[in-house]
Amino acid sequence: MRFIRERHPDWVVVNLDKLTYAGNRRNLLDLEEAEAGCALPRYVFVHGDIGDAGLVESLLAEQRIEAVVNFAAESHVDRSIHDPAPFITTNVQGTQTLLECARKAKIARFVHVSTDEVYGSIDPPQRFSESSPLAPNSPYSASKAAADLLVRAYCKTYGLPAIVTRCSNNYGPYQFPEKLIPLACTLARQDKPVPVYGDGKNVRDWIFVDDHCLGVELALLKGAPGAVYNFGGDAELENVEVVRRLLRLLGKPESLIRFVADRPGHDRRYAMDFAKAADALGFAPTVGFEEGLARTVAWYEANAEWLEQVQSGAYRRFMKEWYGGRG
């Protein structure tokens, strides 16, 4: 949101958010306050569900929406293993509701934000291309793959000008501390053990959040209807190496690393080939991992109050359920 507001201050952006456990309206409260009292606010927050067809239809009409970008998703693999139902509700049914409302409203552009996890796992030195088969291995990735196929179907069947983007692991400021980097940062700052699944050698490609935003912006402005675009950070690292680098930045010992039982269906390696996005959209990551990680750690250290606020009921329940008593 901040990325788009800075690059396109003349755009009107309507943020529809259900504010589930990881949602935090305070993250963008300054944007709301800056627009308070404006006859034509450029940022509008709406508390609601993408699965509420009546609400979505009214917003598209009343706000004269020209483009829809679907970031909404239940996104944590561990939670999907514990209870897949909310992932089907939001990621599949919610996406279908958005698509149908967009079709009826004749929306000019629909961008669906997906994930590299829909491809499953891949052995080195290969990388996922947009033509790689979908082979999801968790309820989360299966729900995202289903949504991707619905977007394709609406484009092919109804002519909806829709685009799918698939991105590697995001990191950066404001990320809810259930994901690896903010979780490890939060625990290490308190000198608590940092859990790492299995042997820690699962490989992920990391992309700084601003670079992902850049990719989505390029897809929105330049993408071809019906196309799929991969975005990556060109930063493949084993999970344990990510944690080691973070501990070094924090001045903490590697003895804090605690290897725990691996999770079911844990993909071994993700790697993105984003040549198509580079050629067609001009996409290229701009923030290297070392720089991005340093900026991320500095942000969390400078925003201890934010961390305390989000470490409330939902976060504590998450920690107790997934990490309490392990290792």
Which residues belong to the active site? 116-117, 140
Q: Are strands 109-115 and 162-167 parallel, antiparallel or unpaired?
A: parallel
Task: Round to whole Å and give the CA distance between 148 and 166.
Answer: 9
Which of 242, 229, 249, 259 lies closest to 301 in space, CA to CA? 249
Gap between the Cα atoms of 249 and 236, Å rounded:
19
Contacts 24+ apart (CB under 8 A), 128-132: 128/166, 128/230, 128/270, 128/271, 128/272, 128/273, 129/230, 129/273, 129/275, 129/276, 130/166, 130/227, 130/228, 130/229, 130/230, 130/276
- The residue behind tokens 């001009």 is 282
